[in-house]
């Protein structure tokens, strides 16, 4: 159980009020404005966003070595301009003992060398004489199917939504983990601008286009609309999971608009979502059978916290206390303030826990998480 007083100690501050007002404007469908003031510390971010909007701008191809990154092969690393991605053709694959979900699947490029030079390049994994990457789908987060053995409501439905988009009948996939001897693949393409900390390419997934394999291209409105990522948000299969520096302002705006429309129409996950306020004492309160659906990152923190406390929240040992003890799990994120800049805060400052009831004070679909 958390403190009986609200967790948000600074909620009355002028700056926090501005943040909340701006988030409410975003939730109501009003268009966010990019940073304007050159005096605030976010100007560098704003200038970068502005440069990405220039249709005549070419991708920045400055390189730098990445030998200092532990476990990564030294290479000449390309720094992509914001809004530009490398187009790579290949196959999405599922093999025995693999467990795809709604926002991740393995990918084998026709030319695996095209990944080299992308920011934070990591080597592919190899199994059965086959090299592949586990993708992390850009900008989306779907309900969990197997986070440490725990599952969320709508996790299977979101995975099946991906299968249907790929032309697969979900009725043929009655398992969570592919059985022995299973092998499936389909042609696809990705738009990738780099790797995340666990060595997964961050990618938009789309059908093959009339684009040269390996070309660095701008993510236009039309191209974004062809991606599974956009489809998942617009159809209520996925939450938004935005990360700082990951998308241009235009792409963020379009994805947020698609999310708001899906939520208003109560599509998919939005018929079930209870992130704003929910009660949890044990994992059963978050399970597909008897539990509520919450934002996947909150679910993951609750799962970790429940294991930390021994399976059940109790006074002095709950999510609040877990985040205070395990500061590395207390995610940082950026929100836009009314004055046009960005303010960094933490998950612990945006949630309030009284007894076993948790309230989330911000719309996590519209913030930018800071990558670890």
Q: What residues have CB less than 8 Å from 22, skipping those under 6 apart?
A: 32, 335, 336, 337, 338
> Cα dihedral sign for 291, 296, 300, 301?
negative
Residue pLDDT tens, the chain, 372 long: 444 334 433 444 444 445 544 544 444 444 444 444 434 444 444 444 444 444 444 444 444 333 333 344 444 677 788 899 999 999 999 999 999 999 999 999 999 999 999 999 999 999 878 999 999 999 999 999 999 889 999 999 999 999 999 999 999 999 989 999 999 999 999 999 999 999 999 999 999 999 999 999 999 999 999 999 999 999 999 999 999 988 999 999 999 999 999 999 999 999 999 999 999 999 999 999 999 999 999 999 999 999 999 999 998 899 999 999 999 999 999 998 777 788 999 999 999 999 899 999 999 999 999 988
Are the C-beta atoms of 104 and 232 separated by less than 8 Å? no
How far is the C-alpha of 239 from the C-alpha of 203, rounded, in Å?
Answer: 16
Predicted pLDDT at 276: 97
Angle at which helices 43-53 and 249-264 pack, to 10 degrees? 90
User: For residue 76, what pLDDT is reported?
Assistant: 62
351 vs 53, 155, 335, 361, CA distance in Å?
A: 35, 24, 15, 6
Q: Given this model, what pLDDT does residue 31 score?
A: 44
For domain 57-270, the CATH architecture is Beta Barrel (2.40)
CATH code 2.40.50.90 region(s) in the chain: 57-270
Sheet of 277-279, strands arranged across: 277-279, 357-360, 351-354
DSSP 8-class letter at 312:
S
pTM for the model stands at 0.81
pLDDT for residue 245: 87
Contacts of 79 (CB under 8 A, 6+ apart): 60, 61, 62, 63, 64, 119
Q: Count the alpha carbons within 13 Å of 138 in the hemisphere toward its beta carbon.
A: 27
């Amino acid at each position: 159980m958390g403190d009986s007083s609200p967790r948000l100690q600074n909620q009355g501050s002028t700056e926090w009020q501005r943040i909340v007002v701006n988030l409410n404007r975003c939730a109501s469908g009003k268009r966010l404005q990019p940073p304007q003031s050159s005096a605030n510390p976010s100007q560098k971010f704003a200038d970068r966003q502005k440069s990405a909007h220039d249709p005549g701008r070419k991708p920045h191809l400055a390189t730098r070595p990445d030998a200092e990154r532990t476990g990564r092969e030294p290479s000449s690393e390309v720094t992509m301009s914001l809004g530009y991605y490398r187009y790579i053709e290949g196959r999405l694959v599922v093999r025995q003992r693999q467990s795809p979900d709604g926002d991740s699947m393995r990918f084998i490029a026709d030319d695996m060398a095209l990944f080299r030079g992308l920011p934070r390049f990591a080597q592919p994994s190899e199994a059965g004489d086959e090299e592949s990457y586990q993708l992390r789908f850009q900008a989306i987060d779907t309900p969990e199917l197997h986070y440490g053995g725990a599952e969320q409501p709508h996790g299977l439905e979101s995975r099946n939504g991906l299968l249907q988009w790929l032309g697969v009948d979900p009725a043929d996939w009655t398992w969570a983990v592919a059985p022995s001897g299973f092998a499936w693949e389909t042609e696809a393409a990705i738009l990738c601008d780099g790797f995340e900390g666990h060595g997964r390419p961050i990618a938009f997934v789309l059908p093959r286009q009339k684009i040269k394999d390996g070309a660095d291209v701008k993510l236009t409105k039309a191209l974004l609309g062809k991606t599974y990522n956009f489809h998942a948000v617009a159809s209520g299969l996925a939450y938004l999971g935005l990360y700082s520096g990951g998308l241009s302002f235009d792409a963020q705006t379009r994805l947020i608009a698609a999310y708001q429309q899906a939520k208003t129409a109560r599509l998919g996950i939005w018929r079930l979502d209870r992130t704003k306020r929910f009660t949890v004492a044990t994992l059963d309160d978050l399970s597909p059978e008897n539990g509520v659906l919450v934002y996947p990152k909150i679910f993951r923190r609750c799962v970790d916290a429940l294991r930390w406390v021994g399976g059940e929240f109790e006074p002095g040992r709950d999510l609040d206390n877990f985040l205070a003890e395990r500061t590395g799990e207390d995610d940082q994120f950026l929100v836009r303030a009314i004055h046009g800049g960005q303010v960094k805060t933490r998950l612990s400052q945006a949630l309030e826990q009284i007894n076993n009831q948790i309230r989330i004070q911000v719309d996590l679909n519209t913030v930018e998480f800071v990558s670890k």
